[in-house]
Chain A
């Protein structure tokens, strides 16, 4: 069964450093998402991406964050200058090409980001 994969599984970085989290969505999907979960808190939506553009973003997704689909398979989340409060589990998700908000989002296993 096709699945979303994410690398690395755990990333440790120093405050102020840039990090790039990588995701490989399911191959025939066209909608891509990032969510995060700070320890002990809810999973929160960050951004959705379609046709090489951001289609929705939350208040959390400020200028420190960016997303990119650099090639036909990868989808990345970049944090330009990490802060302590960016420490969280980051989940990538993808959904199929049907234009409906009821379509199922399939999630990857997550990348745990620790900012020291």
Chain B
């Protein structure tokens, strides 16, 4: 069984300041981990994915995430927030032998000008 916990339902940052969205996972297998973003009235867009290669994963729009097995974490970061980053972010896990994605509850990111 696998699960994902996003530790914050809402994060608010000022434009130009760093972003940290926290995610912890639980998986019986070596997991594949993803971050998806959803802008209002848009679909779920893949930001980045970890699939057991490098533990630091770079994604689109300056986002990156670090896989830490010892902490079972996969936090999403960005050095400098932009207004266009305001959206909902989902941490997602899939397990070996299954195509089923398991989603966290999402973190809504607000960016204050």
Q: A101-B97, A104-B49 are in contact. Are A45 and B102 (CB under 8 A)?
A: yes
How many B residues touch A, CB cutoff 8 Å? 25
Residues of A within 8 A of B42 (CB): 109
- Contact of A56 with B100 in the complex, beta carbons under 8 Å: yes
- Contact of A110 with B43 in the complex, beta carbons under 8 Å: yes
B112 interface residue (CB < 8 Å to A): no
CB contacts under 8 Å to B, within A21-43, are 31, 33, 35, 41-43
A44 and B43 alpha carbons, distance in the complex (Å): 15
Which of B11-19, B63-71, B73-81, B88-96 lines the interface with chain A? B88-96
Q: A101-B95, A102-B49 are in contact. Are A45 and B43 (CB under 8 A)?
A: no
Residues of B within 8 A of A42 (CB): 103-106
Residues of B within 8 A of A95 (CB): 99
Interface size class of chain A, counting residues whose CB lies under 8 Å from the partner chain: 20 to 34
CB contacts under 8 Å to B, within A92-116, are 93, 95, 101-102, 104-110
Residues of A within 8 A of B103 (CB): 35, 42-44
14 residue pairs from A and B, CB less than 8 Å apart: A4-B43, A43-B44, A43-B103, A44-B103, A48-B99, A95-B99, A101-B32, A101-B95, A102-B32, A102-B51, A102-B94, A104-B34, A108-B43, A109-B41
